[in-house]
Amino acid sequence: MSEVQEIQIGDSSAQAAAAGKALSRPDGEELQDMQGEKMVLNMGPSHPSTHGVLRIILELDGEVISKAVPDIGYLHRGDEKIAENMTWTQFIPYTDRLDYLAPLANNVAYALAVEKLLGIHDKLPPRCQYIRVICAELARISSHLLGVGCFAMDVGAMTVFLLTFTEREKVYNLCESLTGARFTTSYTRIGGVSRDTPPGWCESVRNFLNEVVVSIAEVETMLTRNRIWVDRTRDVGVISKETAIDYGLTGPNLRGSGVEYDLRKAHPYLCYKDLQFDVPVGSVGDCYDRYLVRMEEMRQSVRLVHQCLDKIPGGYENQAKEPVNVADGKIVLPPKNRVMTSMEELIHQFMLVTQGMNCPAGEVYFGHENPKGELGFYINSRGGGAPYRLKIRSPSFVNLSILPHLLPGHLMSDTVAILGSFDFVMGECDR
Amino acid sequence: MNALDFANQLKGKFGDLLSGPTEFRGEVCLTVVDAGKVAEVCAFAKQELGFNLLVDLSSVDNYGEDPRWTLVYELYGITHAAHLRLKANVSEEKSELPTVSGVWRTADWHEREIYDMMGIRFQGHPDLRRILMWEGYPYFPLRKDFPLAGRPTELPEIAFTKTAPIEGGPFVTAPGGRDAIEREPRVRTTEN
Amino acid sequence: MQTQTEIGYDRKIEGDVIHTRVDSAINWFRKNSIWPMPMGLACCAIELMATGSSRFDISRFGMEVMRFSPRQSDVMIVAGTVTYKMAMSLRRIYEQMAEPKWVIAMGACASTGGMYRSYSVLQGVDNIVPVDVYVAGCPPRPEALLDALMKLQDKVQREPFLATLKKTAPAQASV
């Protein structure tokens, strides 16, 4: 005869309370604290999500986050104070290292900001504008490739990381032949770019674009309809439109939440008004949306670079010798053969190198559509060759400020997905 | 409606509280004469005029002038795509003005950074503490009277700072044969 | 063996038997499986990641195991600018690594502070940890990092492990 015995599990908290009484604790409150006690977890500055040195102090209630306090500043290098001691051109290498995943875009942003102060940012020679747009869009492709690659790697899909890095190596090759460095390019100068495109470069960009589209499609087949990916990113980290604008988000993070704000369309600079492209906008504002926005932005960037290559003044090899620098000796270094033979050019060279170009007194703000968001430079100048105050409005700094509001309520493992979907860079956040 | 129209609307509402508008390189700038009222001006700009995005909040140290601090608010409205700049001047004795984090929540971190770098306090800020440097760092680095190379500080267990050297060099490790503790530069004396 | 050669190999007499010194054997095992602890702080971390990817395969050297756990790693590659705020954490992680351990200072910022001579940047990570190999560059090319790792392998090969052991444990007659 078998007896069906009901297994009594009982109320664990009541059992614990009873046990506490049995151990003759003075008051039951101590044990009550222990049951609901929150664990403080330090997601320390050195952690494997390769987003740099961000520290988040999480208060966990079981697996659910109840409070999140980000601690930044572990890569604060004092860029803004350094800028006050450098001439305008000397600061360009520092801008490379702000968002070090898309250095060409930072160079373009800074050069445009100083040129706005000088009043020449809409008077740049057309070939220079097209080259800068190609650079900025290549930087966007490169940055989104790494963003999606690292996002996927953190969530668990290692293969995507290796694929996207192979494509990034091709962008590095292009950067190397154009500027001399794989990344940290320091390519733009105030008033133009440092050198024209080398022969054969535009051809290789064309070939690269044809290859990268194949790669993007491959990444899409791996991730977009992948059950695990969708489960981990759908409805995770939902940011509404109003919250996104209130917290100052910009770039793909804002567009993922449904706000159609792209600086290239709202305030076109360089030659964007002559180019046709779409701006992808999400609907829900979750991690999946932000991922889709980045994927589509990569394809739009490919479209933009194709158009630029079709229309670039002077053609691929620039046989017509279109200028790439503003023809002003007080801003751009004169050609070396003139420096050695002509007095005026020698003086210009001397003044530009030792003192920097003389900018008017005044203040400007210029915002550039960087892959991470809006990279803005507020320049307060009192004349002379160095800024009086240079403030870098960094998109990652502002994007991260939403974390204390966004993370609570999510599971511990969602943190990684949310951080990956934000695609921030600590070099830019901390400056 | 462009930025100049919005600026005139603000001027119409607040009158003598605002001076300007000035224009430079296509940007319109208004100065708030009394920094204590900056939160009201910003709230009006957001609710009535639609400047819903605070793009940037910077601070400038006018060393040697009075008022010493200038705060620069870059306002932007996504619907009407107009960009406006507001400035507020604060004197060094006061070094304080009301927060605008009630108007735009993004101002929270911007104001923490301004406090960290310049030492300007914000009344009503929910959590005014250092953000880029560590708690307990005694200086405000972006001030003009603070040297770029820094000053030495010591906060055991948290951080230390030294003056960045212009010349001279730190130590090199001795070649193999000893374990790390022995190889450490501080342990090495003149004998070994 | 009293000779200076590290590995003696005499096939005709013994067959597949290798005479060598314990030091050489242990160092040979060690140098071919150095597991890095990537302290990727800034831009150099991206070049470190590129070294680990398919083009400049760090796996050829046995170093693709980039464990972010200090307990399981042998070399700490400090890649990027070390700020004073980060210095304490870096020191603590270094102390958690088990012997034998080495440090590579990758890039200009880790070696000497780089182009950031400012109030918040530690002027060289060798102020807080002993560095074995410095890699110049801003950022160093992956080939330069691989060259540094090969130099580290040479250094590991030369470590007199047994001599240290004998010095610190004089009671043992022979090992």
Q: Which of A7-21, A69-83, A121-135, C59-73 has the lowest mean pLDDT?
A: A7-21
Q: Residue B72: what pLDDT?
A: 92
Query: Would you call the peptide bond into B98 cis, given omega within 30 degrees of 0 as the criterion?
Result: no
CB-CB contact of A137 with A305 (8 Å): yes
Q: In this complex, which of B52, B55, B146 lies closest to A393 when CB atoms are compared?
A: B55
Q: Residue B176: what pLDDT?
A: 43
Percent of chain C surpassing pLDDT 90: 23
Cβ of A401 and B132 within 8 Å? no
B164 shares its domain with B114: no
B111 shares its domain with B32: yes
Provide the 8-state DSSP code for A230. Answer: H
Q: In residues, how long is chain A?
A: 431
What would the mean pLDDT of B137-143 be, rounded to a whole number?
A: 88
CA max distance for chain B: 79
B83 shares its domain with B133: yes
Q: Which residues contact A204 (CB under 8 A, 6 or more apart)?
A: A173, A174, A177
Q: Which residues contact A97 (CB under 8 A, 6 or more apart)?
A: A103, A184, A427, C42, C43
Q: Strand pairing partners for A40?
A: A59
Domains of chain A with bracketed CATH: 70-430 (1.10.645.10)
User: SS3 of A191, please?
Assistant: coil
Q: In this complex, which of B149, B171, B173 lies closest to C119 when CB atoms are compared?
A: B149
Tell me which chain B residue has its CA closest to the CA of residue A430: B132
Q: Residue A339 pLDDT more than 50? A: yes
Tell me which chain B residue has its CA closest to the CA of residue C123: B164
B71 shares its domain with B159: no
Cβ of B74 and A393 within 8 Å? yes
Q: Residue A268 pLDDT more than 80? A: yes
Q: Does residue C45 belong to the interface with chain A, where contact is any CB pair within 8 Å?
A: yes
pLDDT grade, residue C26 (50/70/90)?
A: confident
**C-alpha closest to that of B103 among B59, B53, B35:** B53
Cβ of A77 and C80 within 8 Å? no
C85 vs B contacts (CB less than 8 Å): 133-134, 159
Read off the tokens for A321.
Answer: 């010798």
Q: Residue A175: what pLDDT?
A: 92
B7 shares its domain with B46: yes
pLDDT grade, residue B5 (50/70/90)?
A: confident
Tell me the residue type at C74: D
**What is the per-residue burial (b if ≥16 Cβ within 10 Å, else e) of B80-108?**
eebbbbbbbbbeeeeeebbbbbebbbbbb
B150 vs C contacts (CB less than 8 Å): 118-120
Using CB atoms and an 8 Å cut-off, which of residues 109-138 of chain B contact chain C? Answer: 132-134
Read off the tokens for B73.
Answer: 């608010």
Alpha-carbon distance B117 to nearest alpha carbon in chain C (angstroms):
12
Cβ of A74 and C86 within 8 Å? yes
B48 shares its domain with B129: yes
B135 shares its domain with B164: no
Q: In this complex, which of C42, C53, C120 lies closest to A97 when CB atoms are compared?
A: C42
CB-CB contact of A388 with A382 (8 Å): yes
Cβ of C45 and A50 within 8 Å? yes
Q: Residue B94: what pLDDT?
A: 85
pLDDT one-digit tens code per residue, A170-182: 999 999 999 988 8
Q: Residue A387: what pLDDT?
A: 87
What would the mean pLDDT of B44-59 be, rounded to a whole number?
A: 89
The residue among A244 and C13 whose pLDDT is bigger is A244
Q: In this complex, which of C50, C80, C93 lies closest to A165 when CB atoms are compared?
A: C50
- Residue A358, sorted as left (phi over 0), alpha (psi -120 to 50) or beta, turns out to be beta
pLDDT one-digit tens code per residue, A162-208: 889 889 999 999 999 999 888 888 899 988 888 888 888 999 999 99
B177 shares its domain with B93: no
Q: Residue A139 pLDDT more than 80? A: yes
Residue B36, domain CATH = 3.30.460.80
Q: Write down which residue in B123, B142, B161 finishes a domain.
A: B142
What value does the mean pLDDT of chain A take?
Answer: 86
The residue among A394 and A48 whose pLDDT is bigger is A394
Total tally of structural domains belonging to chain B: 2
Distance from C-alpha of B153 to C-alpha of B160, rounded to nearest angstrom: 6
Cβ of A93 and C115 within 8 Å? yes
ipTM exceeds 0.90, yes or no:
no
The boundaries of the domain holding residue B163 are 147-192
B44 shares its domain with B88: yes
B32 shares its domain with B47: yes
B123 shares its domain with B186: no
Distance from C-alpha of A316 to C-alpha of C132, rounded to nearest angstrom: 47
Tell me which chain B residue has its CA closest to the CA of residue A259: B78
Q: Does residue A246 belong to the interface with chain B, where contact is any CB pair within 8 Å?
A: yes
B58 shares its domain with B102: yes
Its sign, for the CA torsion A293, A295, A296, A302, is: positive
Q: Which residues contact A32 (CB under 8 A, 6 or more apart)?
A: A17
- Helices A126-155 and A201-223, packing angle to 10 deg: 30
User: SS3 of B148, please?
Assistant: coil
Q: Residue B179: what pLDDT?
A: 47
Q: Residue A21 pLDDT more than 60? A: no
**C-alpha closest to that of A404 among A66, A47, A53, A73:** A66
B neighbours by CB contacts (3+ pairs under 8 Å): A, C
B162 vs C contacts (CB less than 8 Å): 123, 127
Read off the tokens for A139.
Answer: 């930087």
SS (H, E, C) A145-181: HHHHHHHHHHHCCHHHHHHHHHHHHHHHHHHHHHHCC
Read off the tokens for A26.
Answer: 């003075």
Q: Residue B177 pLDDT more than 60? A: no
